[in-house]
Structure 1
Amino acid sequence: MASGPLSEFLKAKKSAYIGDVKAGKGKDWTVVMGNEAGDLDSIASSIAYSWFASKVQNATAVALTQTPRSDLHLRAENLHALELAHLDPSDILCIDDVPCASSDPWPSSTFALVDHNRLQSRFSRDNPDARVVAAVDHHQDEGLYQDSASPRTIVVPTGSCASLIALLFEEHPEHMTPDLATLLLCSILIDTSGLKPGGKAEATDRRAANFLLPILAASQGPLFSFAATDVNADAPHDTPGLADLHHTLQEKKASVAHLTTSDLLKRDYKEYTMTPATAPTTAISVGLSSVPVGFEAWLPKDAAFWAETEAFMAARGLAVLGILTSFRDADHPGKSGRGKHRREQMYVVRGDEGLAKRLFDVLGDAEELKLKRRKFPELGVHNGFGEGVEVHVWEQKNVDATRKVTAPLVKAIIEGSSKGASL
């Protein structure tokens, strides 16, 4: 069983929060949460900020993971990082642990947002006192909570939100523990391709790593058996053991062969509410699922893909679902000797041919993505969606464009704002 100060902290806060919600005192708490995709960056950032808020700001704070407990197993890299940080999944407060029906108002009204910067309607609906008191993020700034959030730290570009959270401790290093540093560093490694030059790492990420690594060196733990003198501030990625740790985390992240289509769609999923320019009084739901496997390896092996995708959309009331793949092509080695990094995009639109045509036409010409149209027979299958469903699939030539690029672009297309506008 997991143990240590961080584990005990999380268990105590989880128990106390659930108890207070049952007693009608949920409004006494600040709920710290990442986005609904539930990746390691969101989990690590929410845990670390709840610790910061409690220890430094003396707030009554609890970290909330928006992933249902039954879905935690879908991300093996998260479980591995938790284990390295001496945490157990049972330590975490999951959204379905909170004694609150999905149709009821959320029992707390004070929120700290990490890894996103807009409070979702689930938490503000019928909750007139809802307010955001902190926002730490590395996605596009939506300009909200400027009068209420402190800190309000939104830095773009930054590879990992965990880097921004780590830097909050620079003035309070006595509150950074080895377990917390481990969790944050694992997130930074995953999000920045191991901090390697030329990758996704920015100056903020390297600064955060240079803050965390000496703390880990001093801990003399078996995972980080290096001295502080081994840390090169100009090349933190060369610190002994980091490359192996990054490789292990990436292997676990890519280990999804046992997952069903439904599992793959929900393991890294974000949902947005958008108002089409063609129907300004009607909001629609748009989902974007990031999946670490290519369509050629996925579709021919899962005959249920078509039915499960339609069921996934129907259950969530989605008008549009984008499936964004990111994977290594073992048949085409890249410069590193590993499989070449590839991305693809598929969009499924239900019941609106006009919306589908606009989305497909503009996406196909988007310089941000550099999409090349593909046909289903090229992927080894034929289109198996039912009537009333429009679908296009592309190879994405700009492999550096992640969901952080795609989501604002899709929003701009659907809502009719200028393509490439800051959203």
Structure 2
Amino acid sequence: MRVCAGLVMAASTAAALPSQRTEQIAFGMQSLPHKLEEGVGHFSEWSRETKKEFLIDWQANKESEWIFVMGNEGGDLDSITAALSWAYHLEHSSANTSLPIKAMALLQTPTDALDLRPENKLALSNSDMSSGHRDLLTIDELPEDPETLSRKIKGIVLVDHPTPLRKWDDAKILSIIDHHTDVGTGPDAHPRIFEKVASCTTLVARQMLDELEQLPEEYHMPHELLQLMLSAIAIDSDGLNPKKSTEEDRRQSERVLKRSHWHKKDLEDIMEDLDKELGDAKKDLADLGLRDLLRRDWKGDLVDTPSPRTPTVSLGFASIPISMDQQIERTEWNELFDWFAVHAAWTAEVGADISICLNKHKVKVPSINKKKKIREIVLVVRDDVRVDDDQADELFRVAYEAIEKDEKLNVKPWHRANELGKRQMVWTHEFEDGGRKYVRPLLEEAVKAWK
């Protein structure tokens, strides 16, 4: 965790440096060997100043004045954009009122993990943000742990996430804007919006623009923010592809576009170009080793169980767009044992009792001269975090049976399943909708019923 004083001191030092200096600069606990570039434009300036103001207020014991807007810990572009957009709106829409709001977008992804999604780096760069993500407040930059801070801040707003992680349980949920399944969290939140669209940014854009147009005087919406919003919607909707998007995605994209510097351009052309550019970047994972592949899209939390000995279990999910065989090739010895060694080191680091890797890749089918999508599910249960050996065996059985017996998944053993060790299993399946949104609730319900 970074030290607040170090952040402020380093920021002051960086501001005083000549623009051409490229030597290493201490910034908190990191060293940045490359040239530091400040973002340009109102959006970057606002984000950087808001981060600074929060840290100053934290130092002065005024955390209670702040609202955190947070997405999910996977840190995808939609989650980042939705959080930044709504925080910007809360602050600017209330700026000229008797009760101005202090709102900060908190990214629940460590700084060094943001670029494991190359599309994030590209989109933020295109929006003229500072290099090294120094405009953004990330989870590893919090000056104290979330469990403590959650009891001090004014509250949280959830975007692209239906329920807070357990570490934020003590924070008041002020609003929820999400495009996932409503699980009943925060019944008194306002606004409280759950709607099936391709991108959560679509819902944020609608609420934001609806409220903006009702103000006595509209605040400034910088082009950089509008471009980021269009980027998030584009990549999640495949460029407004009718098979992936909804009419609401299209309608709100049109409203955002009309306010941007691109207002004279065709919506379809803009969204297709953004999707192509960001989609190409998203696929560029050639330089990532297995550990980075595991953590680039990792989501997990504690799950309650009826077991008196183990009332909570940590369940984690990784989503990787590469096959198990290809992942093995990215280990040091290119061997199956090495995959599980790297995986074990990562799950030990994050304290996961049960981990699920959801892989997907395409294979060519010669008979039809086309490619089909193959999905894989990797299940591993540890016995050294919260559960002992016997409990781990039982948890593995419960999770194993939940996957094996699901008729929609219709899983088959991986071609090397006979080489797997204790409490390890790998399956393949072809259920199109069998990603994390389907498998995670399946496993959570199974674990909740474990005794």
TM-score by length of 1: 0.84
Query: Is 1:362 aligned to 2:402, yes or no?
Result: yes
| 1:240 is aligned to 2:285 | no
> Residue 115 of structure 2 aligns to a residue in which SS?
helix
Larger-Rg structure? 2
Deviations 1:284-326 (A, max 9, x none): 0000011121212111342432111111222222221000123
**Correspondence 1:273-292 to 2 at 5 A:** 273-276=302-305, 282-292=311-321
| Aligned residue among 264, 274, 277 for 1:227 | 264
Q: Does residue 1:213 correspond to 2:257, yes or no?
A: yes
Q: Deviation string for 1:126-174 (max 9, x for gaps)? A: x5xx211111111221212222x1111111x222111111111332255
- Aligned pair 1:80/2:122, yes or no? yes
- The answer to whether the aligner puts 1:61 opposite 2:93 as a matched pair is no
Q: 1:317 aligns with which of 351, 357, 362?
A: 351
1:373 is aligned, of 391, 395, 413, to 413
Q: CA deviation at 1:48?
A: 0.3
- What is residue 15 of structure 1 aligned with on the other side? 52
In 2, Cα distance between equivalents of 1:332 and 1:90: 46
Q: Call closer, same or farther: CA 1:212–1:348 in 2, change over 3 Å.
A: same
Match of 1:141 among 164, 178, 182: 182
| 8 Å Cα contact 1:372/1:397 also seen in 2 | no
2:200 to 161, 166, 170: 161
Distance 1:373 1:64, change over 3 A: same
1:272 equivalenced with 2:309 (yes/no):
no
Secondary structure, aligned partner of 1:210: helix
Match of 1:350 in 2: 382
State the match for 2:281 in structure 1: 252
Could you tell me which runs of 5 or more consecutive residues in structure 2 were left unpaired when the two chains were aligned. 1-37, 95-99, 384-391
Secondary structure of the 1:169 match is: helix
2:138 aligned residue: 94
Does the 8 Å CA contact 1:324/1:403 hold for their aligned counterparts? yes
Aligned to 1:390: 423
Contact 1:277 1:414 in 2 (8 A): no
Farther-moved stretch of structure 1 (24-33 vs 247-256):
247-256
Q: Distance in 2 between matches of 1:184 and 1:143?
A: 27
Q: Does 1:203 align with 2:240?
A: no
Q: Is the 8 A contact 2:71 2:161 kept in 1?
A: yes
Corresponding residue SS for 2:355: strand
Task: Tell me the CA shift for residue 203 of structure 1.
Answer: 2.9
* C-alpha contact 1:135 1:153 (8 A) present in aligned 2: yes
Code of the residue aligned with 1:138 in structure 2: it is H
Instruction: Assess if the C-alpha contact under 8 Å between 2:402 and 2:442 holds in 1.
Output: no
How far apart are the structure 1 equivalents of 2:62 and 2:247?
42
Q: Which runs of 5+ in 1 are unaligned?
A: 221-225, 232-238, 418-423
Distance 1:333 1:68, change over 3 A: farther
Matches of 1:115 and 1:67, distance apart in 2: 14
Contact 2:75 2:107 in 1 (8 A): yes
CA contact (8 A) 2:82 2:200 kept: yes
Displacement of 1:348 in angstroms is 0.9
Q: Do the aligned partners of residues 350 and 83 (structure 1) sit closer, same or farther apart at CA in structure 2, a change above 3 Å counting?
A: same
SS across alignment from 1:293: coil
Identical residues among aligned pairs (%): 29
- The SS at the match of 1:21 is helix
Within the candidate set 130, 155, 166, 1:121 is matched to 166
- Three-state SS of the structure 2 residue aligned to 1:8 is helix
What CA distance in whole angstroms lies between the structure 1 residues aligned with 2:93 and 2:309?
A: 45
Q: Distance in 2 between matches of 1:60 and 1:159?
A: 29
How many Å separate the matches in 2 of 1:90 and 1:293?
30
**Amino acid paired to 2:409:** L
Counterparts in 2 of 1:356 and 1:72: CA distance versus 1, 3 Å = same
Count, aligned residues: 386
Residue of structure 1 equivalent to 2:70: 33
- 2:154 and 2:172 in contact (8 A); partners too: yes
2:327 to 298, 304, 307: 298
Aligned-residue Cα RMSD (Å) equals 2.6
Shift of residue 278, structure 1, vs aligned partner: 5.9
- Rounded Cα–Cα distance in structure 2 between residues aligned with 1:55 and 1:411: 39
The residue identity in structure 2 corresponding to 1:208 is Q
Alpha-carbon distance between aligned partners in 2 of 1:333 and 1:163, rounded to the nearest angstrom: 40
Within 2, Cα distance between the matches of 1:160 and 1:333? 35
Query: CA separation in 2, counterparts of 1:186 and 1:301?
Result: 30
Structure 1 position 280, deviation (Å) = 7.8
Cα shift readout 1:42-66 (whole Å, capped 9, x = no counterpart): 1101000001111224421011111
